[in-house]
Each structure stands twice: as C-alpha cells, then as structure tokens.
Amino acid sequence: MKKALRLLYQPYKFLFFLPFLVLSTVVFGAGAVLLCSIFDPRIPSYLCGSVWAKLNALMTPMLLKVTGRKNIDQKQSYVIVSNHQSQYDILALYGWMGVDFKWVMKQELRKIPALGIACEKLGHIYIDRSAPQAAISSIQAARQKVVNGTSVIFFPEGTRSRSGKIAPFKKGAFKMALDLQIPILPVTICGTRKILPPDTIDIFPGKTGLIIHKPVAIDGYDDDNITELMDRVRDIIRAPLNRC
C-alpha cells in the first residue's frame, strides 16, 4: 500500500510541490532581504522564515507535534543543539521553535539563490569548515548576536545522519555556551528522515515531532570537562529517538 501511495505522490511532488518550494524560497528570500533594510531582523525572520517553513511543511504535507515548549524562557538566550536527520529539520525548527535564533550553517548554503543572501541579511552565521581560522572568526562574530533572548542553533553532529543514529558531537556549540555563560537547550527532532532521507529527493508526507527538553545549565563545566557536558546533552537528545 505504501509503495502505491508513494507512486501516486510523485506527480504532485514534481508538478506542484517542488515548484512551490523553489518559488516560495525565492519570494520569501527576496522579501527577507527587503524587510531587513527596513526593520530589525527579528521581524522578517518571523514573517519570512517561519511562514516559509510552515507553508512548505503544509504543502508536503508534514504534520508536526511540539512537546516541551514550556521549557523555553522567551527572555533567555540559549545555545540550542539538535540532532540532524534531514533537510526537513530546517522547516521543523524554523517553523515551530517559536524563538528568535541564528543558524550556524555551512558555507556551501550561501550559494543557494535567494535563500543564501536572505540568511546572511537575517544575521545567520556561515562557517567555512575548510578554513579553521575563518570558522573561528565567524563563531566569534556570532557571539555578539546571542543576546536579549536571541539564541543560536547548532547541529553538533556537523552533518545529517545517514543511519538515523546520532553521530558524535563536535565541541563548537558547547564551547560557545561556556564562553557566553548561557544554558544549552537540547532539542530532539523525530521523523523527518522518513519524509526526506539524506542525499535524495524522495519526499513523502508524514508525521514528525519536535521535543524541546529542559535547559541544561553549564555551571560546573569548563574546558577540562566539556566532553562530560557534550555526552550529557547527547544522551538527552538521543533518549526519545527509540520511541519516535
């Protein structure tokens, strides 16, 4: 039955959804660039980013349930860390986190028409992973933006998981939390890999979940025991995946 449904979905995907995704990305990206020249980036980030994400989720369709929103203090800045299963993680986080945040994203995404320049104008942070010194400079610049309730989001695995299992975490997000002395907000994303597996365009509708865990204070952690903090947060994010 599922194979038959997947086959029936293909004409809709290629004739309607993918053209809508491209068009909406161009329109909302251009809108974000324009609005950023008039308003504080927080406003176009919501009007363009969140609406763009929800519209494309609806058009897929992707049904998403949020758990744990009460764990967020809107006045507090966080280093948000999430597992990374699919490009649809971007829609889930942008559309449903409900906080102002900056992405830490790979430099290659800067080349995407409309989206790349829009993300730059919105204050998101591009990291050139092939140039360590440039990456360090980008992270240092990002620290100035994580204030007054604005958070920063990392995928600490560094890339999408091809197996569905959480890969080892990199230190960048945790180092920033220690340097800025702000809590870490762990987030678990469930189900997006089934909607869009990595390295494919095999999109198919489905249900997903966004689990926002309680913040993890960085008190008692430093560079000497940062791996303990990383393991603790990774265990929190990984725990619900067996039930997703």
Mean pLDDT of 204-233: 97
Task: Give the pLDDT of residue 191.
Answer: 95
Task: Identify the structural domains of the chain with CATH numbers, from first to last.
Answer: 2-243 (3.40.1130)
> How far apart (Å, rounded) are the C-alpha atoms in residues 35 and 43?
8
Read off the pTM: 0.91
Q: Contact, 233 vs 172, CB < 8 A?
A: no
Mind listing the pLDDT tens digit for each residue in 172-203?
899 999 989 999 999 999 999 999 999 899 99
| Average model confidence (pLDDT) across the chain | 90
Task: Give the pLDDT of residue 144.
Answer: 77
Task: Give the pLDDT of residue 106.
Answer: 76
Tokens of residue 24, six digits: 């909406």
Q: Contact, 83 vs 156, CB < 8 A?
A: no
Task: Give the pLDDT of residue 128.
Answer: 72
Task: Give the pLDDT of residue 130.
Answer: 65
> How far apart (Å, rounded) are the C-alpha atoms in residues 80 and 180?
13
Cα torsion through 184, 148, 152, 235, rounded to 10: 10
